Amino acid sequence: MTKANIREQEAYSVFLEDFRPKRPTFRNIVVAFFTGGMICAVGQGVLSYLLSGSMPEKQAYALTSSVMVFLGAFLTGLGVYDKLGIFAGMGAALPITGLANSVVSPAMEYKREGFVLGVGARMFQVAGPVIVYATLAATIVSLIKLYVF
Amino acid sequence: MEFHRRGTSTCVFQEMPVLVSAAAVVGPREGEGPLGDLFDMVYSTTLLGETSWEKAESKMLRQAVDLALAKAGLEESQIDFIIAGDLLNQIISSAYMAREYDIPFLGIYGACATMSEGIGLGAFLIAGRFARYVVAASSSHHDAAERQFRYPTEFGHQRPPTGQWTATAAGAVVLGAQGKGPRVEAVTIGRVQDFGISEPNDMGSAMAPGFADTVWRHFQDMARQPEDYDLVISGDLGNIGSMIARELLRRKGIAIDDRHQDAGVMLYHPSPEVGAGGSGCGCVACVFSGKLWKELYNKQYGRILLVATGALHSPTSCQQGETIPCVAHAVSIVSG
C-alpha cells in the first residue's frame, strides 16, 4: 500500500514544517492597505466631484459605484487588473473594482465556449459564492433587525 | 522466456533504444528564462495566432513533433507509434496533435511525469521489437492549465510561495532501434505515493515522497550509488519540493545534493509569480529536449537519471477534499 497511514501522514507534515517558506504576511498587509486605500480614494474623488454638482446624494452614491465597477472591468479587459491583484492581493480584491474583475475575467475567459454555455453559465464562477452568501447574510441581518429591534 | 527486470521495479534494456533526436518549443516567458537560447523555437505570444489557449497548446506540440522528425531526418511513414500526453481534460492537446499525423497514437496521462512515462513506454516498444521508431511528446500551456485547474487568466489573485507556474512549452523526442544519440539504459516505473497533502498550491511537498521512492528503488534495483550518475534531474519539484526530496533521500542513505537539479527551477528566473518554480508536462519535456539531450549527445554527461514527477489530482478531487496522489518515473540515459 502506498497511501500513507494517518501516523505517517502526521509525521510527514511535521517533517515539512522546516521547509515551508513563510508567506510574506506583513508585506502583503501593508501593500493591501495602501493599494486598497488608493482605490477607495479614487472612489471618494469621483463621489466628491459628483456631489460638487447638483446631483442628489443617493444618485451620486449609485453612480460612484458604477464608475468604480466600470474602471475594474475596463482594467481587467486591458489585462492590468490581474497584475494589480498579484501585487496587492486583498487590496485589489476587496473594493468593488475587485468584484468587477471577478465577473469580467471569467466572462472573457469563457467567451470561446459561446455566449450561453460559456459567458452566461460561467460568468459568476468566482463571484457567485460571494453574491450567494452576501444575499444570505443580508437576509439574516434584515430579519434580525425586523424582529429583534 | 528471459525477462529483463531487475529488483522490484526496474526494467533494463539489453539493446538500448536510442534517442535519435529531440526538439523543444516554448512560450515568451520561458524564452526569456535562463535556458531561452537553447530552445528550437520561442513564440512571441502565448496564443500563437490561434483563437484559444487549447488550440495554441496543440499547435505547439505539433511543431515540437515536426521539428523532432525533421532533425532525425525521418518521414511520418517511418514512425510506428506516437505517444503523447498533456494536462488538459481528456488530453485534448495530444489528440488534436495526433489527428494531423498518419501514425498510430497512444495517449497517456501522468501529469508532469508524462515525458518520462512516454520515453519509457517508447523504449519498451522498441526493445520489444514492436516498433522501429517511436515519437514521445508532451506539452503544457500556462493559460489553458490555469483556467482548468485554478482561475480565469485575467483574475487577479496572489499565490503562496509554494505555488508553481505551469510552463507554456512542448518537447518531443524520437526513439529508434538504432542510430547515433543518447541511449535509454533502464526505466524505473514509480508507484503512486500519497502522504496526505491536499493543497494544490503545494505540489512540491506532495510529489517529493514519490520522487524519493522511485529514485531509491532505482538505486537499489541497479545496485548503484549517486556517484554513478552525473546528474539526477527532477521535473518539477520546484525549489521547496527539491529540498524536501533531497532530505527524504538523505534519510534513506542516498545523498544526491551535489548532482541534483530540478527542471522547474532551471526554466525560469526567480520571481513572485513563478513561485517555487515551473511545472506542467511541458516543463521537464522542454528542459530535457532543449538542453539535456544536446548535452548527452555532446557527451558532456556520461549518464543521467531523468525523474519526472506528476501530481495526479483534478480540480474535482481537490474540491471534494481528497489528498493528492503522486507518481515519479525514472529513466536512466547514457550518452552516445
Of B157, B192, B205, the CB nearest to A93: B157
**Any idea what the Cα angle at residue A90 is, between residues A86 and A93, rounded to 5°?**
85
Percent of chain A topping pLDDT 90: 90
The pLDDT value recorded for residue B336 is: 78
A7 at interface of B, judged by CB pairs closer than 8 A: no
Q: Each residue of A39-70: b (16+ CB within 10 Å) or e?
A: bbebbeebbeebeeeeeeeeebeeebeebbbe
What CATH number is given to the structural domain containing B155?
3.40.47.40
The pLDDT value recorded for residue B290 is: 97
The pLDDT value recorded for residue A54 is: 85
CB atoms within 10 A of CB B298: 10
CA-nearest of B17, B216, B192 to B111 is B192
The pLDDT value recorded for residue B159 is: 85
Q: Please judge whether A28 and B156 are an interchain contact, meaning their C-beta atoms are less than 8 angstroms apart.
A: no
Of A4, A21, A105, the CB nearest to B154: A105
The pLDDT value recorded for residue A4 is: 87
How far is it, in rounded angstroms, from Cα B290 to Cα B271?
22
Q: B186 and B10 in contact (C-beta within 8 Å)?
A: yes
Cis peptide before B236 (omega within 30 of 0): yes
B321 at interface of A, judged by CB pairs closer than 8 A: no
3-state SS, residue B307: strand
DSSP β-ladder status, B169-176 and B18-26: antiparallel
Reading chain B (336 residues) residue by residue, the pLDDT tens digits are 889 999 999 999 999 999 999 999 999 999 999 999 999 999 999 999 999 999 999 999 999 999 999 999 999 999 999 999 999 999 999 999 999 999 999 999 999 999 999 999 999 999 999 999 999 999 999 999 999 999 998 998 888 889 999 999 999 999 999 999 999 999 999 999 999 999 999 999 999 999 999 999 999 999 999 999 999 999 999 999 999 999 999 999 999 999 999 999 999 999 988 999 999 999 999 999 999 999 999 999 999 999 999 999 999 999 999 999 999 999 999 997
CA-CA distances (angstroms) from residue B140 to B7, B55, B69, B199, B203? 33, 12, 20, 21, 16
Q: A101 and A39 in contact (C-beta within 8 Å)?
A: no
CB atoms within 10 A of CB A18: 9
Q: Please judge whether A85 and B161 are an interchain contact, meaning their C-beta atoms are less than 8 angstroms apart.
A: no
Chain A closest CA to B145's CA: distance in Å? 12
Chain A closest CA to B199's CA: distance in Å? 12
Number of separate domains in chain B: 1
Q: Which three cell numbers stand for residue B29?
A: 516567458
Chain B closest CA to A51's CA: distance in Å? 31
How far is it, in rounded angstroms, from Cα B133 to Cα A30?
58
CA-nearest of B112, B204, B206 to B162 is B204
3-state SS, residue A50: helix
The pLDDT value recorded for residue A148 is: 87
B70 at interface of A, judged by CB pairs closer than 8 A: no
DSSP β-ladder status, B105-107 and B81-86: parallel
Q: Which residues in A lie closer than 8 A to residue B159 (C-beta atoms)?
A: 86
Q: B164 and B54 in contact (C-beta within 8 Å)?
A: no
The pLDDT value recorded for residue A21 is: 87
Q: Please judge whether B158 and A28 are an interchain contact, meaning their C-beta atoms are less than 8 angstroms apart.
A: yes
Of A4, A19, A102, the CB nearest to B195: A4
Element spanning B21, H or E? strand B18-26
Q: Which residues in B lie closer than 8 A to residue A13 (C-beta atoms)?
A: 196
The pLDDT value recorded for residue B301 is: 96
Q: Which residue of B has its CA nearest to A81?
A: B156
Measured in degrees and rounded to the nearest 5, phi and psi for residue B158 equal: -95, 145
Site of grid cell 489528498: B323
Q: Which domain holds residue B104?
A: 1-336
Measured in degrees and rounded to the nearest 5, phi and psi for residue B200 equal: -70, -10
Q: A110 and A118 in contact (C-beta within 8 Å)?
A: yes
The pLDDT value recorded for residue A43 is: 97
Q: Please judge whether A19 and B240 are an interchain contact, meaning their C-beta atoms are less than 8 angstroms apart.
A: yes
Which DSSP letter does residue B288 get? I
How far is it, in rounded angstroms, from Cα A121 to Cα A123?
6
The pLDDT value recorded for residue A1 is: 54
B167's CB contacts (< 8 A; 6+ apart) are: B26, B27, B30, B140, B142, B264, B267, B278, B279, B280, B282, B283, B286
Residue ranges in chain A whose pLDDT is less than 50: none
A8 at interface of B, judged by CB pairs closer than 8 A: yes
B261 at interface of A, judged by CB pairs closer than 8 A: no
Of B156, B213, B244, the CB nearest to A81: B156
Q: Which residues in A lie closer than 8 A to residue B154 (C-beta atoms)?
A: 76, 79, 81-82, 101, 104-105, 108-109
How far is it, in rounded angstroms, from Cα A89 to Cα A35?
9
DSSP string, B214-270: HHHHHHHHHT--GGG-SEEEEES-HHHHHHHHHHHHHHTT---GGGEEEHHHHHS--
B158 at interface of A, judged by CB pairs closer than 8 A: yes
